[in-house]
Structure 1
Amino acid sequence: MSAEEEVHMVMDGDWLQPLWQRDLLPPGALAAFVVGSTARGWDNARSDYDIYVITSTEQGWTSADAALSLELPSAHIEEFYAHNRRWQVTYWLDAQVDDIFDKVSWKAFESGRVTDDTLSYREEILLSRLGNCLPLFGEDWLADSLARLNASAFRSFVVVRSLGALENALEDALGQLEAGDLESATISTRLAFGHVIDALLESHGEYGSQLIKWRPNRFRAVAPDAIEFTRYWRIETMQDYDPAAPDAWIKEVLALCQDIAMRVETT
């Protein structure tokens, strides 16, 4: 069997077999699902296979762990190579997921306890991927978790955070522009544009702004009315930027950022 045929077999066949062979599926696991670029059809020949497994009890592993937060224990990770790809299997306790949802409850959000530091990177990525995954088993657990996500303040949390980052970048860019520091203003303007696009996409339920490389794919998935892809991409790639006269591009993009921000719904 060729390498391409092996990959095709994994994509279309039994994802769980490599895990069974390596004793990586604990008894009583509640759910398992493929996440990341593969689950969304954005992967390529060099992409990893990422799988989340939900369990009800700790298994006593001692290999790679990823720190989450002071309140939660670490998330266990197993890595191996099969079918010419690197596989990364991340194990989450069902109780961990409960705690993560508690952090982004409406009660927490409205009391002001939801801040930029509320969720760790891995916690936010977990919630971001629940709506775009490939279930292997545990569809009921996934359906319940997706319903909890949609009923939580998570969308408002990430949108407000992105808009806050936008405001900071706008202030930086305007101050640098006034001071004649056009190089720094250019960088701040690029940051502002990225933040407002992230806020726009997040307001449509397209999460994952930490993974900037997928922003064009996320944009196409939403196709927002506020800005067309061709204009978004011209700005993202700075096609109209003139190094000899950067202030024109800076002012245009900053005005666009403010216009888009006015159209973003936070709740």
Structure 2
Amino acid sequence: MDHDMQKMAMADWLAPVRERGLVPDDAVAAFVVGSAARGWHNARSDFDIYVVTAAERHSETSNSMPVPLDPPRVRSETFYEHDKRWEVTYWLDSQIDQMLAKVSWEVYEAGTVAEDVLSRREELWLGRLGNCLPLFGEEWVDRNRKRLVASAFRSFLVVRSLGDADDAVEDALGQLESGDLESATVSARIAFGHAIDALLEGAGEFGSHLPKWRPNRFKAAAPEALSFEDYWALETMRGYDPADPRPWITDVLTICQDIAMRVETS
């Protein structure tokens, strides 16, 4: 946790939320999520807090966002404090149970693909749980972190990313063979992104829908299969030669295939 984060913790994250009456009496847990929870935030970052409640919260100032759960929505409140935009999102305890049920091993072994299991918002919630900053309800957070680790969530995401990487590799190979080097370059980059996501998801670093944090996630995971220096050289296309892109494309596709051999899916 960085110095700014420590200061925020001492100043009490919940103070601005409580002052606005945004912590319901039936709240069982509240935690900071996103970049601020990990010390990755900057001066322009928003602050995001999830609050878990027993009953649905209603307010004239709240926004409603659809989720494929019962009830089929979550609500949020936004405000500004210290030149920061704060968003407080309310999830029901029962909705968390529903999400975890969706990523059970029984569902996974039935062959269901990740896209058919979780919406992006649900996947983001589950992926953030492991690195959230609890404000209260630590026992609730710890219990559900253990449930998440015991679930097939990681396997769902790894399998999806490996499948997407393989599809992009096949695209790149076909384009390379046909001489369409520009398209092959793009496909190789797409394949590389998915392969790295699979590598990081295998290490418990989730968040493939937010590629802007991929370098930070890579540093946090520190996978043995690839050094950060080698990863960053490929991510930034350092060795790419527009006059002769074939070697770079081939190297990237080889690394993607090597990663696919190393990542365990379960």
Structure 1 counterpart of 2:192? 193
Deviation at 1:119, TM superposition (A): 0.6
Structure 1 counterpart of 2:38? 40
Q: Is the 8 A contact 1:174 1:185 kept in 2?
A: yes
Structure 2 counterpart of 1:64? 63
Q: How many Å separate the matches in 2 of 1:26 and 1:71?
A: 20
Deviation at 1:71, TM superposition (A): 5.3
Structure 2 counterpart of 1:3? none
Q: Determine helix, strand or coil for the equivalent of 2:90.
A: strand
Q: How many Å separate the matches in 2 of 1:135 and 1:93?
A: 16
Letter in 2 for 1:54: V
1:30 is the counterpart of 2:28: yes
Q: Deviations over 1:30-66 (max 9, x none)?
A: 0000011111011111111110000010122353111
Structure 2 counterpart of 1:85? 84
Q: Does 36-45 or 106-115 show the bigger shift? A: 106-115
1:228 is the counterpart of 2:217: no
The runs of at least 4 consecutive aligned structure 1 residues that moved more than 4 Å come to 6-9
Q: Deviations over 1:4-29 (max 9, x none)?
A: xx998544311111111111111110
Deviation at 1:76, TM superposition (A): 0.6
Q: Is the 8 A contact 1:159 1:199 kept in 2?
A: yes
Q: How many Å separate the matches in 2 of 1:144 and 1:26?
A: 21
Identity %: 60
Structure 1 counterpart of 2:18? 20
Letter in 2 for 1:230: E
Deviation at 1:115, TM superposition (A): 3.3
Deviation at 1:75, TM superposition (A): 1.1
Q: Deviations over 1:187-209 (max 9, x none)?
A: 00000001111000100111111
Letter in 2 for 1:32: A
Count matched residues. 262
Q: Deviations over 1:164-184 (max 9, x none)?
A: 100110111111111111101
Deviation at 1:126, TM superposition (A): 0.6
* Runs of 5+ unmatched residues, structure 2: none
Q: Determine helix, strand or coil for the equivalent of 1:77.
A: strand
Q: Determine helix, strand or coil for the equivalent of 2:58.
A: coil
| Structure 2 counterparts to residues 127-206 of structure 1, below 5 A | 127-206=126-205
Q: Determine helix, strand or coil for the equivalent of 1:98.
A: helix
Deviation at 1:88, TM superposition (A): 0.8
Letter in 2 for 1:42: W
Q: Is the 8 A contact 1:108 1:114 kept in 2?
A: no
Deviation at 1:112, TM superposition (A): 1.6
1:259 is the counterpart of 2:258: yes
Q: How many Å separate the matches in 2 of 1:249 and 1:114?
A: 32
Q: How many Å separate the matches in 2 of 1:248 and 1:205?
A: 32
Q: How many Å separate the matches in 2 of 1:8 and 1:247?
A: 48
Structure 1 counterpart of 2:47? 49
Q: How many Å separate the matches in 2 of 1:96 and 1:114?
A: 20
Q: Is the 8 A contact 1:103 1:114 kept in 2?
A: no
Q: Determine helix, strand or coil for the equivalent of 2:114.
A: coil
Q: Determine helix, strand or coil for the equivalent of 1:202.
A: helix
Deviation at 1:117, TM superposition (A): 2.8
Q: Is the 8 A contact 2:185 2:245 kept in 1?
A: yes
Q: How many Å separate the matches in 1 of 2:7 and 2:201?
A: 34
Deviation at 1:225, TM superposition (A): 0.7
Q: Is the 8 A contact 2:70 2:95 kept in 1?
A: no
Structure 1 counterpart of 2:118? 119
Please, what is the CA RMSD of the aligned residues? 1.5
Deviation at 1:128, TM superposition (A): 0.5
Letter in 1 for 2:154: R
Give me the TM-score of the superposition, normalised by structure 1. 0.95
Q: Is the 8 A contact 1:49 1:88 kept in 2?
A: yes
Q: Is the 8 A contact 1:7 1:83 kept in 2?
A: no
Q: Is the 8 A contact 2:5 2:36 kept in 1?
A: no
Q: Determine helix, strand or coil for the equivalent of 2:141.
A: helix
Q: How many Å separate the matches in 2 of 1:45 and 1:8?
A: 16
Q: How many Å separate the matches in 1 of 2:254 and 2:7?
A: 50
Deviation at 1:114, TM superposition (A): 3.9
Q: Determine helix, strand or coil for the equivalent of 1:260.
A: helix
* Runs of 5+ unmatched residues, structure 1: 1-5
Q: Determine helix, strand or coil for the equivalent of 1:30.
A: strand
Structure 1 counterpart of 2:96? 97
